[in-house]
Amino acid sequence: MGRMHIWRDIAIGCLVVAVLAAIPSLLPSKAFQDFVIRCASMALFATSLNMLVGYTGLSSFGHGMFFGLGTYSFALLMQKTGMSLLTAFLLTLLITAMTATAVGAICIRLRLIYFAFVTLAMQMLLHSVIISWVGLTGGDQGLQGGIPRRTFAGVDLSNQYNLYVFSAVMLVVGLLLMRHIVNTTFGTSLRMIRDNETRAAFLGIIVWRVKLTVFVLSAVFASVGGMVMSLFVSGAYPELINWPISGDAIFAIVMGGVGSFLGPTVGTMILLLLNDVVTRQTEYYGLALGLIILGFALGLRRGVLDFITERLGGRPAGGIS
């Protein structure tokens, strides 16, 4: 990615944050702010998963373990220690990176289907530990009691508007960093591995090292999404580390589009909107939501953003942009 493109993306990111920060003064809706915070959290998570699925060709069914690990680690550090929010944030990233390195070292050498199911097994194992360790995690009741000292750089994040702006900034910064990563020579290596792993190895790419690196990076960004969610719910709950949370990210990618960088973010907005609307209309929201997602998959045969891009004559679906 050229320097001009980087500055262009940064300018667009700053504009997005400025617009989002101004909206509550025109539309003072707490529901809208809640939606943006949730969307920021899940979009970071879904986009981090797409670094594996869309760019590297690795289908992880257990990526939610890192989202949940970020949620629980951050909340526990804030509750049990006297450290600042920034210190807890950085330490959570370190914990996630170390965990991802250990898990990735086991998984990345497996064939695709085994990779997917072993990551799922790892998530289910971590979820079981969370449920069983009642004294530390609160078990199936979750980690309650709130997150104290929610101040970052002098800004009180217990205030909803401040948390709303903070979440928007985290989303934009996270997306910019991930976009920069996938547009470097490292990102080119990821796409080469996705398209033809044998040829990539023949050209001198150390495949296992690249896979492990992207696995750890994607876990770290998923953890950031988890920390945003932890601040939003002021704690951590088993639902945030259970296996369905990985399914939500996969659905977001499928609906938004695997072939466009912003596809998972668009898919996240669609998924959350559908979930909110369907939940209000029927108690069978799981069935209704499943039918709607199936309609997306069979009707468009690709994500919304991929479909629009192809219709507008852009890069064909399947090519990451």
Q: What is the pLDDT of residues 219-240, one digit of tens each?
A: 999 999 999 999 999 999 999 9
According to DSSP, residue 157 is labeled: T
Which residue, among 279, 55, 15, 7, has the nearest Cα to 168 in the 3D structure? 15
Q: What is the pLDDT of residues 44-80, one digit of tens each?
A: 999 999 999 999 999 999 999 999 999 999 999 999 8
> What is the structure's pLDDT at 314?
59
Say what the pTM is: 0.92
Q: What is the pLDDT of residues 78-121, one digit of tens each?
A: 998 878 899 999 999 999 999 999 999 999 988 888 999 999 99
Q: pLDDT above 70 covers what percent of the chain?
A: 96
Query: Is the model's pLDDT at 317 over the cut of 50?
Result: no
Whole-Å CA distances, 143 to 40, 74, 86, 185, 228: 22, 11, 20, 41, 15
According to DSSP, residue 316 is labeled: P
Half-sphere exposure of 254 (CA within 13 A, CB side): 18
According to DSSP, residue 38 is labeled: H
> What is the structure's pLDDT at 7?
87
Q: What is the pLDDT of residues 265-307, one digit of tens each?
A: 999 999 999 888 887 877 777 788 778 778 777 777 777 887 7
Q: Are 194 and 55 in contact (CB under 8 A)?
A: yes
Which residue, among 123, 111, 100, 106, has the nearest Cα to 51 in the 3D structure? 100
User: Which tops the pLDDT comparison, 36 or 291?
Assistant: 36
Rounded to a whole number of angstroms, the CA Rg of the chain reads 19
